[in-house]
């Protein structure tokens, strides 16, 4: 079919300009994807991945070779001593909870140094309204402190002051790599490395990183530069758009042992937990992940260019390198944000006929609108967008299983936003 029947000549010309302007960026992302793919394949070969690893176990799941080998592969690729990857971890928040409960004991302090963590952790930490006696960290006598970021960086002077006041009680220094839904820059792996070095020189705390949306955006992960533990969701980057769910933790042998004891129970740790036939999709997803993440990054750069040229404020800028897959686009009006999300939805492979509506969400003061026409429910490695209905009406866009489908979705969004 003639492409011009789908999009206006103006939009198609803008798309060509975008790809011209992003030629070097795309070449750099192809090289990154190759480097990360090589690292993954090298680990597959060294660990002798074969068909027998895809067989599922049931019951206790003792000696599940597929599961145990994938754990070793994740550890290798992420530059960690140990790791565990499980389809049975419900979501990223669940995995982060395993990390926090695994390492923190009554009387300990968790010190977040990237400001307030991701929204869903408030009830886990025990700093949300309500939820009393639901077993939050606060219910178990764990204290929480936070240091806000300053000028887009971790404020090391304030971190030093907090560590000075709390001393050895600080068991976790916590960082969130991605901006998430906050308006601040995403941390690079090298910035996280500097913080880890600083913390390890000052105290014995574990440096724990919420790595969601960050995996494979650079050629190494925070564990390769000194983080004690990283955590992420498989319906984001490392699942490669193939995993049906699950999450991973990777880090030092000691941290992973403790988290394994929390994930199942002390004494059994990572030796139980059947894989129920999910191994193949976790392997295949990890194999795809460097490529899929590069496609999502290309889609983000492409969206930044198109919407910048259409006169909207975007962050990061279209040429800026990234350490996560999130693109912010400030639509400026409620109508613009709604049109943007409807355009993304109409450009999706699943539920493209649905028109998203703003709605109330538990825990949010403003209505939120979301577009997610995804194969795996809520998977945000697939093209998706959302944003709260408040000024400056920012859409948070992420994902794209292929650049072609990402480009299609962005052009749909542009067509909806610019329609008369």
Ligand X SMILES: *Cc1c(COP(=O)(O)O)cnc(C)c1O
Q: How far is the CB of 232 from ligand X (least distance, A)?
A: 8
Q: How far is the CB of 189 from ligand X (least distance, A)?
A: 15
Binding mask 98-137 for ligand X (x = CB under 6 A): --------------------x-x-----------------
Cα 41 to Cα 405: distance, rounded to the nearest angstrom: 26
Phi, psi of 177 (to 5 degrees): -65, -50
CA 391 from chain center: how many Å? 25
Q: How far is the CB of 93 from ligand X (least distance, A)?
A: 3
Interface with ligand X in residues 229-248 (CB under 6 A): 233
Q: Indicate the burial class of 334 (C-beta count within 10 angstroms; 0-12, 13-18, 19 or more).
A: middle
Neighbouring residues of 218: CB distance < 8 A, sequence distance ≥ 6: 32, 188, 189, 323
Order of strands, edge to edge, in the sheet holding 82-86?
82-86, 247-251, 229-233, 206-210, 170-176, 109-112, 143-146
Q: How far is CA 280 from CA 87, 127, 283, 287, 378, in A?
A: 11, 39, 5, 10, 21
Please, which residue, 71 or 210, has the CB nearer to ligand X? 210
Interface with ligand X in residues 169-208 (CB under 6 A): 176, 178, 180
Q: How far is the CB of 52 from ligand X (least distance, A)?
A: 31
Please, which residue, 25 or 398, has the CB nearer to ligand X? 398
* Region of 65 on the Ramachandran plot (φ > 0 left; ψ -120 to 50 alpha; else beta): alpha
Interface with ligand X in residues 32-91 (CB under 6 A): 91
Please, which residue, 92 or 290, has the CB nearer to ligand X? 92
Of positions 76, 210, 221, 382, contacts ligand X by CB under 6 A:
210
Q: How far is the CB of 171 from ligand X (least distance, A)?
A: 20
Position 399 contacts ligand X (CB under 6 A): no
Please, which residue, 49 or 234, has the CB nearer to ligand X? 234
Neighbouring residues of 120: CB distance < 8 A, sequence distance ≥ 6: 93, 363
Q: How far is the CB of 110 from ligand X (least distance, A)?
A: 15
Position 97 contacts ligand X (CB under 6 A): no
Query: Which residues are at the interface with ligand X (CB under 6 A)?
Result: 91-93, 118, 120, 176, 178, 180, 210, 212-213, 233
């Amino acid at each position: 079919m003639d492409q011009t029947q789908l999009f206006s000549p103006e939009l198609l010309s803008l798309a060509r300009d975008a790809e011209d302007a992003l030629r070097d960026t795309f070449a750099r992302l192809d090289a990154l994807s190759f480097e990360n793919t090589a690292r993954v394949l090298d680990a597959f070969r060294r660990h002798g991945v074969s068909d027998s690893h895809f067989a599922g176990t049931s019951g206790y799941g003792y000696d599940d070779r597929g599961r145990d080998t994938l754990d070793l592969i994740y550890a290798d690729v992420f530059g960690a001593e140990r790791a565990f990857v499980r389809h049975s971890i419900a979501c990223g928040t669940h995995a982060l909870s395993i990390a926090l409960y695994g390492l923190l004991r009554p009387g300990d302090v968790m010190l977040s140094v990237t400001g307030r963590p991701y929204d869903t952790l408030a009830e886990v930490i025990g700093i949300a309204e309500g939820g009393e006696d639901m077993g939050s960290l606060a219910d178990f006598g764990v204290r929480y402190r936070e240091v806000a970021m300053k000028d887009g960086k971790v404020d090391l002077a304030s971190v030093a002051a907090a560590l000075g006041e709390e001393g050895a009680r600080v068991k976790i220094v916590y960082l969130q790599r991605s901006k998430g839904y906050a308006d601040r820059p995403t941390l690079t792996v090298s910035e996280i490395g500097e913080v880890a070095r600083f913390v390890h020189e000052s105290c014995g705390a574990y440096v724990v990183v919420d790595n969601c949306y960050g995996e494979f955006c650079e050629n190494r992960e925070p564990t390769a530069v000194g983080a004690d533990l990283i955590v992420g969701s498989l319906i984001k980057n490392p699942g490669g758009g193939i995993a049906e769910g699950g999450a991973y933790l990777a880090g030092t042998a000691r941290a992973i042992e403790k988290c394994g004891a929390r994930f199942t129970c002390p004494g059994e740790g990572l030796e139980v937990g059947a894989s129920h036939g999910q191994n193949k999709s976790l392997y295949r997803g990890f194999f795809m992940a460097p490529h899929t993440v590069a496609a999502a990054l290309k889609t983000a750069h492409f969206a930044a260019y198109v919407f910048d040229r259409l006169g909207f404020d975007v962050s990061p800028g279209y040429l800026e390198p990234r350490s996560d897959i999130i693109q912010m686009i400030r639509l400026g009006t409620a109508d613009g944000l709604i049109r943007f999300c409807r355009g993304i939805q109409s450009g999706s492979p699943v539920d493209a006929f649905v028109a998203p509506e703003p709605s109330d969400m538990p825990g949010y003061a403003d209505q939120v609108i979301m577009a997610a026409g995804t194969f795996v429910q809520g998977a945000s490695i697939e093209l998706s967008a959302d944003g709260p209905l408040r000024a400056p009406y920012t859409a948070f866009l992420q994902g794209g299983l292929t650049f072609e489908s990402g480009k299609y979705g962005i052009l749909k969004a542009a067509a909806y936003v610019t329609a008369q």
